[in-house]
Structure 1
Amino acid sequence: MSLPDVLRDLLTTPGPSGREAAAANVWRAHAEKFAEVEKDTFGSSVARVAGTSTATGTSSGTAEGGVPSLAIVGHIDEIGLIVTHIDDKGFLRIASVGGQDPQQLVGQRVRILARDGEVRGVIGKKPIHLIEADERSRAAKIKELTIDIGAADKADALEVVRVGDVAVIDAEPIELRQGRFASRSMDNRIGSFVAYETARLVAEAGGAPGEVMGWAVTQEETGLAGAATTAHRVRPDIAVAVDVTFASDHPGVDVNDIGEHPLGSGPVIERGTPLHPWVTDALIETAEAEGIPHTLSATGRATGTDADAIQIAADGIATAVVSVPLRYMHSVVETAQVEDILNTAKLLAAFAQRLSADVDLLR
């Protein structure tokens, strides 16, 4: 199964937290083909597909007393790097944007998003021949790493980059076996793609009873800001945050800690303390009715996703989490299975079609 063109476009467009504009523009351009699209000062995007129902009277816990509006939420940002200092020799000192493992950075090529366009560089490290024996087993620290853009000195480097420029690892998606792909930024271009694809499927079907929205929100990796501001502004009746979760089928992972969610097992529906039980149960019932493979996960505290900000926005929003299994999270080789991604969108589109005016979200 090939990688969808829209997802490939998203994966290959850089957009670390706070600098998501290029990736957001790609998302909007595709969504504008079937939906009414809007953006805000945080850079978040909303694609609206109007509902078809005229029901107005019996639903509890909805804004208009009719069929609940539904938001499918994926964050458009990715982890990255930021330039903190340029030394006299023209090397760029860096810090992390989001959760970086420094071991993943050594020896990587990077794309720096500079004022006049992209600048290419590499993250170098002292050759092993020059590393003392007692240093070889010590993990690198990000403050010890630098980006080399080939500059002659600081003045030369300052002609093309400046402090505060951000960067991402330079890596194209690669196809593996069994419909699996590896790429940087799967977390969470997958979620923003599912938000897009769910809205597209609903539009293709002529709409759903209630309004369905795809959201591509910003700055999840650094504090959930885009989800919080969009939820406060839009105030849907129901929201489903779509993110990635830890696949359980690669070495070093203990299913007793994270549950069993191998690649190919479909969307992961989360149950737990911060999540609305009716929405969660309805998602499970939809998956069962539609024959969509899925697994369950559980949490007794915050989810670590945009759901944590959405569920407490305004006077509270009925929120759920659905995730896609992912290997090697927050690395340059994040790996997922296309079928899982498409099944997640199918599940959410089918869920949208099952909503009606007699839904009671109050508890």
Structure 2
Amino acid sequence: MSLPDVFRDLLTTPGPSGREAAAAEVWRRHARAFAEVEHDTMGSSVARVAGTSDAVEGSSGTSGGGVPSVAVVGHIDEIGLIVTHVDDKGFLRIAPVGGQDPQQLVGQRVRILARGGEVRGVIGKKPIHLIEPDERTRAAKIKELTIDIGASGKEDALSVVRVGDVAVIDAEPIELRHGRIASRSLDNRVGSFVAYETARLVAEAGGAPGEVMGWAVAQEETGLSGGATTAHRVRPDIAIVVDVTFASDHPGVDVNDLGEHPLGSGPVIERGTPLHPWVTDRLIEVAEAEGIPHTVSATGRATGTDVDTIHIAADGIPTALVSVPLRYMHSVVETVEVEDVLQTARLLAAFAQGLTADVDLLR
């Protein structure tokens, strides 16, 4: 299966938390083909597809108040690095933006988003020949790593890079067997693509009874910020957050802890404490009715996703979580099956198209 062009554009455009502008503009540019698009000072984007029913703009918590509006939410940011210091020899010291595993960074090529354009560099550490034998099995620490841009010294480095510039790993998506792809930033360009694709499918079908919105929100990896501010501003009747979750089919994963949802098993519908029971159960019903493969997962606490701020925004927003199985999270080789991504968008489009004005979201 070839990678959809919009998905590829999102994966190849850098956008770490707080510096998502380029990736967000790619998302908005594609969404303008079928939706009314807006964005805000946080860098979050909303694509609106108007409802077709006379009874639209329902109010969450009421029965018969109109067909509920639905927001499908994915975060547009990815993990990255930030320059914290330039030493006298021109090497860049770095800190993580989001949850970085230093073992994933050693020997990687990077793209630094600098004022004059992208600067390429490599992440180096002391060669194994110079490491004491008793230290060779110790995990590297990020403070021991540097970015080398080939500078002749501090002044030369500072002529193209500033403290506070951010970087991402320089790696193109690769297509694997059985419609699977590996790439950096699948967490969570998967979710932002599903938000886009759900809205596109609804628009292509002539709309849904209620308004359907795709959201590409900012700064999830560093504080769930964009989801919170967008939810407070827009206040949809229903929000469905789309993120990635740990695939259960690679070595070292215990299905007794995480549940069973391998690549190729379709969307993972979460049940649990912060998630609205009716919305969650309805998603399962729609998946069964549409013949969409899916699995169910459970949580008894916060989810670690945009759910955690959206469901308590404003007066409370009925919120669900649907995830796509992913291997090797927060690495340069995050891996998903493309059909799982597309099936997730089909599920959410069918959910929105089946909503009616008599939905009662009170509990």
TM-score, normalised on structure 2?
Answer: 0.98
Paired residues for 1:92-103 under 5 Å: 92-103=92-103
CA separation in 1, counterparts of 2:68 and 2:57? 12
Paired residues for 1:229-308 under 5 Å: 229-308=229-308
Aligned twin of 1:160: 160
Aligned twin of 1:309: 309
Aligned twin of 1:347: 347
8 Å CA contact 2:46, 2:214 repeated in 1: yes
8 Å CA contact 1:58, 1:66 repeated in 2: yes
Aligned twin of 2:33: 33
Aligned twin of 1:87: 87
1:187 equivalent to 2:177? Answer: no
Superimposed CA distance per residue, residues 84-118 of structure 1 (whole angstroms, 9 cap, x where no aligned partner): 00000000000000000000000000000000100
Q: Which runs of 4+ in 1 moved over 4 A?
A: 56-60
Superimposed CA distance per residue, residues 166-186 of structure 1 (whole angstroms, 9 cap, x where no aligned partner): 000000000100000000000
8 Å CA contact 1:59, 1:360 repeated in 2: no
Unaligned runs of 5+ in 2: none
CA separation in 2, counterparts of 1:56 and 1:328? 42
Superimposed CA distance per residue, residues 53-72 of structure 1 (whole angstroms, 9 cap, x where no aligned partner): 01269976259920000000
CA separation in 1, counterparts of 2:203 and 2:53? 14
8 Å CA contact 2:56, 2:210 repeated in 1: no
Moved more, 235-244 or 55-64: 55-64
8 Å CA contact 2:266, 2:339 repeated in 1: yes
Cα shift at 1:130? 1.0
8 Å CA contact 1:270, 1:320 repeated in 2: yes
Cα shift at 1:298? 0.2
Change (3 A) 1:58 1:77: closer
Change (3 A) 1:85 1:56: closer
Change (3 A) 1:56 1:270: closer
CA separation in 2, counterparts of 1:41 and 1:219? 12
1:209 equivalent to 2:209? Answer: yes
Letter in 1 for 2:248: S
CA separation in 1, counterparts of 2:72 and 2:63? 17
Superimposed CA distance per residue, residues 157-207 of structure 1 (whole angstroms, 9 cap, x where no aligned partner): 000001000000000000100000000000000000000000000000000
CA separation in 1, counterparts of 2:319 and 2:201? 21
Superimposed CA distance per residue, residues 301-338 of structure 1 (whole angstroms, 9 cap, x where no aligned partner): 00111011100000000000000000000000000000
Q: Secondary structure at the match of 2:177?
A: coil
Letter in 2 for 1:346: R
Paired residues for 1:35-50 under 5 Å: 35-50=35-50
Aligned twin of 1:178: 178
Change (3 A) 1:34 1:132: same
Q: Secondary structure at the match of 1:171?
A: coil
Report sequence identity in percent. 87
Letter in 2 for 1:48: R
8 Å CA contact 1:59, 1:359 repeated in 2: no
Paired residues for 1:81-160 under 5 Å: 81-160=81-160
Letter in 2 for 1:359: V
TM-score, normalised on structure 1?
Answer: 0.98
Q: Secondary structure at the match of 1:270?
A: strand
Letter in 1 for 2:245: T
8 Å CA contact 2:64, 2:359 repeated in 1: no
8 Å CA contact 2:208, 2:352 repeated in 1: yes
8 Å CA contact 2:59, 2:66 repeated in 1: yes
Cα shift at 1:339? 0.4
